[in-house]
Amino acid sequence: MTRFILTVTLALTLALGLRAADWAQFKGPNASGVSPEKDLPVEWSKDKGHKWKSPLPARGVSSPVVYGDRVYVTCSSGVRDDRLHVVCFDANTGKQLWHRQLQATGGTAAHPKSCMAAPTPVADDSGVYALFATGDLAAFDADGTLRWYRSLVGDYPTVTNQVGMASSPVLVKDRLIVPMDNAGESFIAAVDTKYGKNVWKAERPREINWVTPLVRTVGTATEVLFDGPSGLTAYDAGSGEQRWVSKLTKGSIPTGVLDGDTLYVPTAGVTAFKLGAKGPEGAPVMKADKLQTGMPSPLVYLGKVYSTNGRGLVSCAEVKTGKLLYKEGLKGAFSASPVAGDGKVYLLNETGTCTVIDGKADTFEILASNDLGGETLGTPAIANGRIYIRTDKALYAIGK
């Protein structure tokens, strides 16, 4: 089994064109929320435990992403929230390397908790790709030079979401997968990373959806798995052809977790399915219906599945059986998804407090509770032995 998992992981890494230690997209490697980094920090505060702290030009609810020695962050500002920012920092010193701004071309209506900098950018060797809730999509190289730009609302004028879009793009080699489920013309598209042109575009139901796509390798093919209110659909990453559809899951906000050939999806708790070549096979292999899910995506780590929600509840169950191990309340609501590495699970609430718990224990063991203050809705990133956390005003690199 271990050999199988290592083979799948290697194949997936090669398919995505990522390096294992990078945190290049929403929730890191294939949106797992898990990092292989060691010696990760446990304790910090506003005044200690930082490698560096750098101010941000504006608010954002997207996550920072880390690729090599670069950290990329998006923000939005202005009376209409129509000024869009992409900022790059040196990952080791916190020095701002460049800051680019765009004028939004799409609508800026959103829930007050969200903003136009809600989708998380994705990075690779060539730089960063930033999608905003306005439908503005831009690619910058690692030095901040604009490589290409598209107004997706200009291309598809009925695109609209009055509560704000937040699905994040992902990369499959030289193709940028752009999820655009909304109340108008909905689609998922593969855009070539060199010129920004559509390689393929698949129509989707006109439904609001905040899920981020997952990627898996099946034989010689690479699939893009995109959950939504009408079900889970697998697209061929090369052609956009629909390979299969499953109605067993109907997500709309949290993103599932793909662990080897098992998919964990937040459906009235968390349910796990074995995936075959044509989708889920047979009955669920695990159902943890006592997990309390919310906007944050679940986490699968060291044989356990974790969930957090808007009422401050932290739930944990066994992966093998779905048995609830604990359900505990913490102060403050959660919007950021839990992340893990080095035997630790990091739970960041909306007001800057990150509770670190022991990921190896079957009981609720708090290692530290760390308060940075400020609004923290974006999921942290883990890379370079550090935790990168954005507040509404600053970006922190926690650790050595």
Inside any domain, residue 15: no
Inside any domain, residue 88: yes
Domain count, the chain: 1
249-274 burial: b if 16+ Cβ within 10 Å, else e = bbbebbbbbbbbebbbbbbebbbbbb
Mean pLDDT for 123-142 is 97
Confidence at residue 201, expressed as pLDDT on a 0 to 100 scale:
98
Confidence at residue 6, expressed as pLDDT on a 0 to 100 scale:
41
Give CA angle at 221 (220, 224), nearest 5°.
155
The dihedrals phi and psi of 316, each to the nearest 5 degrees, come to -145, 135
Inside any domain, residue 23: no
Inside any domain, residue 256: yes
Inside any domain, residue 24: no
- Expressed as residue numbers, the domain containing 375 is 29-398
Quote the CA–CA distance of 315 and 319 in Å, as a whole number: 13
The bridge status of strand 304-308 relative to strand 313-318 is antiparallel
Answer whether residue 118 shows pLDDT above 60: yes
Closest CA to 205 of 179, 168, 237, 224: 179
Computed over its alpha carbons, how large is the radius of gyration of the chain?
A: 19
Inside any domain, residue 269: yes
First CA to last CA distance, the chain: 35
What would the pLDDT profile of 166-221 be if each residue is shown by its tens digit?
Answer: 999 999 999 999 999 999 999 999 999 999 999 999 999 999 999 999 999 999 99
Confidence at residue 203, expressed as pLDDT on a 0 to 100 scale:
97
Answer whether residue 133 shows pLDDT above 60: yes
What would the pLDDT profile of 345-367 be if each residue is shown by its tens digit?
Answer: 999 999 999 999 999 999 999 99
Answer whether residue 11 shows pLDDT above 50: no
Mean pLDDT for 3-19 is 46
Answer whether residue 2 shows pLDDT above 80: no
Inside any domain, residue 85: yes
Quote the CA–CA distance of 387 and 394 in Å, as a whole number: 14
Confidence at residue 161, expressed as pLDDT on a 0 to 100 scale:
85
Quote the CA–CA distance of 264 and 260 in Å, as a whole number: 11
Inside any domain, residue 181: yes
- The burial class, CB within 10 Å (0-12 / 13-18 / 19+), for 183 is middle
Tell me which DSSP letter residue 292 carries: -
The partner residues of 348 in beta bridges, in order of sequence, read 354
- The answer to whether the CB of 385 falls within 8 A of the CB of 400 is yes
Confidence at residue 19, expressed as pLDDT on a 0 to 100 scale:
54
Closest CA to 106 of 84, 73, 63, 135: 135
Answer whether residue 23 shows pLDDT above 90: yes
Q: In this structure, how many other beta carbons lie within 10 angstroms of the beta carbon of residue 152?
A: 23
Q: What is the CATH number of the domain that holds 107?
A: 2.130.10.10
Residues 6+ apart with CB under 8 A from 101: 83, 84, 85, 86
Quote the CA–CA distance of 215 and 124 in Å, as a whole number: 16
- The answer to whether the CB of 151 falls within 8 A of the CB of 192 is no
What would the pLDDT profile of 302-329 be if each residue is shown by its tens digit?
Answer: 999 999 999 999 999 999 999 999 999 9
Cα–Cα distances in angstroms (integers) from residue 106 to residues 121, 150, 156, 282, in the given order: 18, 11, 10, 43
What would the pLDDT profile of 243-287 be if each residue is shown by its tens digit?
Answer: 999 998 877 889 999 999 999 998 889 999 999 999 999 899 999
Confidence at residue 386, expressed as pLDDT on a 0 to 100 scale:
97
Q: Which one-letter amino acid corresponds to residue 371?
A: D
